[in-house]
Structure 1
Amino acid sequence: MDLLMEQRRSQRKQDQVIAQLSQALLTLQQEVSKNQFQNGSVNNRLLECENKTDKLKRELETVKGTFEIMKNEYMMVVQNLTNVDTKANQIDKEIVMLKNLKSVTELRNISDIFNKTDRNELEIQMTNHRMNKVINDANARKQDVIALYNKADLTENNLDKHLKELANRVILVAGATRGTYADQQTILFHDIIISNGVRDVDSFKSTGAFTCERGGMYQIAAYIASNANHCSFTVRKNKAYIGDAFASLGDFFETMTFISVVELKVNDTIEIYSGRTGQLVYGNRESGISIVQIR
């Protein structure tokens, strides 16, 4: 009967541990989903910038077409000026010829010629005014297009930088090395499952110490399975205590879990220490650690 009661207590404790692990896994899945959502949002912003860039290119082509029309109008104005100069020279010649005329009718013809000249000069002035207005409008449109293009280019560069930062975030997941550890001995993790943004993986495998290569906020999660009576493990940053986990059942293995968020600077270390001498740590991914940069 005592054995049956003991087995039931063991089963309840194992169910509690499984529930804790499920909650930790759910938290990690939510974080991954959040990162995926952020990546999707960034991709949408990048697509929007590409669409704006295409729109700016089309507006630039429109400005070029307007400039060609203005150029043609300017050539027409130059031609009109040439014609006016020709007419003015002709009028000067006619005035010289008419100096000796005494007929009133011929003098009226001269007055008509002067009136026509005045009208031509007025038309030339109006044409020049319209041409200057078109040129000013085109220059203003050109500056607007250039400003929008530069702004779109800057936004695209910022998005590229953000995407690179997301892709380079540190993610390390590893299974523990099975063995019997002494009190305060560093637990090793040789089974590397995921390694992103970590250059010195071999050092971590051989020493069990994670060395931060990129400063930021990190989520530390560890689970250790052992059958030692009153088993425990301690998590330390730069050899200083930041948390631990315990289990008390002997002769049947239990899983201890630890989850926390810490700020790490470059060259800071994270290690997992055994909590007692002769403590067996199960391997084959029955024990493990995950270190994820969240910011």
Structure 2
Amino acid sequence: MMMRHICVLFVFPMAIGFLLDTRNPQNSSHQFITASEFFAAKSGLQNGIEENRHDIDRKLMLLTSQVQQMFDSLQQQIPQQDTNRSNEIVQKYQELSENYTALQKQFDVLQANQISQLNELSQCKDKVNEHDREISALMNLKNIQPLSELSSLKTQVQSVSSEVHALSVSDRARSEDFRALYNLTLISERQTKLQFSQIETNQNASFALKDIEVHQNADGIAKLQQQINKNSARVAMTACINHSPTLSSGSVVKFNDIRKHIGISNLSSFQNSGKFTCEYEGLYLVSSWILSNTDRSLFTMYYNGQSLASAFVLYDGAAETNVGTATAIVSIELKVGDTVWVQTMSEMYVGAQGSCLTIAKLK
């Protein structure tokens, strides 16, 4: 706790008196003052005392305010220091509590280990005692005296030994007989195994030939069935144009209005590109007819980029007709993945009411 010392200055007024004598003249050599000098001195002393009093009051007020500020500062510092010390004490208490808990856990572990070691020591003591008892029993057996009938036992052992020898000779003769029979059995077993091996080899060869024939027949049947399915597949389509565009030269005519179809799965690709892609190989008939009011307009049927056939649209202007139709028909053998399409060779108008494409698989 902080201690401070406060010093307070106390000023006590002093009065000095003079002896007055009005009977003597002013020029006397005695040490006396006149009344006027006294009153003048008194007035000066009173003024000085008043000034000192005011000065002392001001200093007291200033000192009082400073003391009050010091007390206020002390009052603010003391709780803060107490709070900090309280926090430090609480923190130290928590650390001591945690350390105590950790020590308690370690003590429990050590106590459990000690109990386990005591149990093991007790078991070891039991085993040592048991071994001592066994050793004592063995020592007792060592001290047993020989039997009194040892000679009779020797006689009986000799008799038994002779009988065993006789049985051993008889067993040896029978063993020779069994050995001969065993050799005959081995020879017969070898011959039997050899015959079974030959029979198994012949059967395996026969089975292998049959498996080959079965596989060949199955492959042939599968190929034949695939060929039958391909030949019997029904593929046909008729598609027209659903609007009347004017196409520039080299444009693919897109017959996007599918009227009839069978055996074709990629219709959306045909509608978007205008190109037919073969899914089943075979002989196909392809025909296309286009209605147009563009005189002498030309279109060509293509197969994998090769020209198959072309057709001109012509009409007789003298007969006052301004529209004509041209048709191209081809038969072609297509394989899986081949493409067929119709392409304009000049700028031409394609009428929606009379422009179609038909593709049919013949066989």
The question of a shared fold, defined as TM-score above 0.5 by the shorter chain, is answered with no
> Rg: which structure is higher?
2
**TM (normalized to structure 1)?**
0.43
**TM (normalized to structure 2)?**
0.35
The structure carrying a bigger strand percent of its residues is 1
Greater RCO, CA 8 A, separation 6+: 1
